[in-house]
Structure 1
Amino acid sequence: MEFIADCRTRLAFDLVANTWHPVVLWALRNGPLRHGELRTRIGGISAKVLTEAVRRLERDGLVERAAGAYQLTELGVSFLGPIEGFGRWAEEYGDRVVEAQARVS
């Protein structure tokens, strides 16, 4: 018997469940950045929250630190595709979600 809670898909969703993980990965898509540069590029994130997010992404093998800067690993680069897909979906359907939320509120 296969349990949905233990599937690999859940693992992938856990990576994007944190608000900042996809943002950090997307911010690093063009190359390595130091902590301060990364924080400036992202905007609206505290140093503490950024540090926590980067540490989790390092633990998961998507980000590594080299020469004082954070950069995507091969695994991190491979995850940009799904993040881009979420972005395309949000661009196309985001207004409909906001409208639905407004009807319920």
Structure 2
Amino acid sequence: MVEWNPYDRNCPTRKLLDRIGDRWTVLVVGALSDGPLRFSELAARIDGVSQKMLTQTLRGLERDGLVTRTVTAAVPARVDYELTDAGRTLQDPLKALEDWAKAHMGPILESRDRFAAEVAR
């Protein structure tokens, strides 16, 4: 049995952690938690994501088997993105991370302000 070690820079788990820890991945998984979305719907839901970054994120998630891309023949073609079973297992941990960020944002902003004031002295 292979023992994965993300603390080893050559271990593939390191790249996977980079993928799932990326802010755009966190937001894409969150946006897809309610079901499949088209590219334009994802872009509208994730404020500030560029077309390039959304494309790169979706391709990476698809490559890793976390998102499926379904093309439906139509004019224009319809493309939907959806979490796979493996992708759905990320929902709870990433939602917990999102909830943590929201719950701790106030104290963190206060800490940033104190730090900036101390550095400015």
CA RMSD between the two structures = 2.3
Query: Residue by residue, what CA displacement relative to the aligned partner does 1:32-76 show, whole Å, maximum 9, x if unpaired?
Result: 111111111212211111101111111221111013211000011
Identity across the alignment (%): 38
Alignment of 1:19-30 (within 5 A): 19-30=23-34
Q: Deviations over 1:1-56 (max 9, x none)?
A: x9651379756642343220110111111111111111112122111111011111
Return the TM-score normalized by structure 2. Answer: 0.73
Partner residue of 2:64?
Answer: 60
Match of 2:19 in 1: 15
Tell me, what secondary structure is at the counterpart of 2:108?
helix
Q: CA deviation at 1:98?
A: 1.4
Instruction: Answer yes or no: is 1:90 the counterpart of 2:104.
Output: no
1:79 aligned residue:
90
Aligned residues: 104
The farther-off stretch of 39-48 and 76-85 is 39-48
Q: Unpaired segments of 5 or more residues in structure 1? A: none
Give me the whole-angstrom Cα distance separating, in 1, the residues matched to 2:51 and 2:22.
Answer: 16
Could you tell me how far apart the structure 1 residues matched to 2:35 and 2:5 are?
A: 38
Q: Cα distance, 1:89 vs. partner?
A: 1.3
Change (3 A) 1:8 1:81: farther
Match of 2:51 in 1: 47
Structure that is richer in helix per residue: 1
Q: Aligned equivalents of 1:37 and 1:17: distance in 2?
A: 22
Q: Report the Cα distance in structure 1 between the residues aligned to 2:94 and 2:102, rounded to whole angstroms.
A: 12
